[in-house]
Amino acid sequence: MDLDEKDHVTSLVKAVAEERDQAAFTVLFDHFAPRLKSWLVKRAMKADEAEELVQDVMTVLWHRAHLYDPARSSLSTWLFRIARNRQIDIQRRAKYRRLEGYEPIYFATEEPGVDTVFEGEERDARVRAALAQIPEEQMQLVRAAFFMGQSHSEIASATGLPLGTVKSRIRLAFERLRRALQDPSD
């Protein structure tokens, strides 16, 4: 069957949308599925993944044929756009799932030596002591910015302080912290 006529394609989609016409869907599937798969493979997708994505796209056609608007685009444009968007989604998900072979989690780490543990505890105590020296008005802003993740603008809105005051107090707190943590031998 020739699907080059726009009116014929539109009538097939309408039959799928309104009557769940399996014969109409089969005609559309037989025409578009191989074209979609070929296009996806040319876009560097593995054949089996492309086939699965085509199944997904054609399922969208079956369930959402009523959303197709022939005034806005041809059916092929609509289906290829769906395929492209789904392919982009798959690539994004794969990007975040991919773990590099050099991930530190794969390597056993040595237990830290006593001296390293002691130095860490000593450093933590110095940081706690330095934080205790910061005035409460500055420390509240530091907590909001660095422990609660608020932006300076959000802090200014929440506290009623001018934005410049928020920034100044946070900067002063860090200067105080830096001085308190400086090694006396420096």
Pair of tokens at residue 6: 């726009």
Section 62-69 average pLDDT? 93
Tell me the pLDDT tens digit for each residue of 159-183. Answer: 999 999 999 999 999 898 888 888 6
Q: Which of 49, 72, 97 is the last residue of a domain?
A: 97
Tell me the pLDDT tens digit for each residue of 9-58. Answer: 999 999 999 999 999 999 999 999 999 999 999 998 999 999 999 999 99
Judged against a pLDDT cut of 50, whether residue 1 lies above it is answered with no
Of 20 and 186, the structure prediction assigns the larger pLDDT to: 20
Section 142-158 average pLDDT? 87
d(CA 159, CA 73): 52
Q: What is the CATH number of the domain that holds 157?
A: 1.10.10.10
Burial of 68 (0-12, 13-18, 19+ CB in 10 A): buried
Same structural domain for residues 36 and 81?
Answer: yes
At residue 41, the pLDDT reads: 94
Same structural domain for residues 81 and 16?
Answer: yes
Burial of 160 (0-12, 13-18, 19+ CB in 10 A): exposed
Judged against a pLDDT cut of 70, whether residue 154 lies above it is answered with yes
Q: How many domains does the chain have?
A: 2
At residue 69, φ and ψ (nearest 5 deg) are -120, 105
Among candidates 144, 136, 134, 133, which has minimal Cα distance to 167? 144
Residue with tokens 């860490």, as numbered in its chain: 120
Q: DSSP letters along 63-85, please?
A: HHGGG--TTT--HHHHHHHHHHH
Same structural domain for residues 122 and 69?
Answer: no
Tell me the pLDDT tens digit for each residue of 70-127. Answer: 999 999 999 999 999 999 888 888 777 665 555 566 555 667 777 777 788 888 888 8
d(CA 133, CA 142): 13
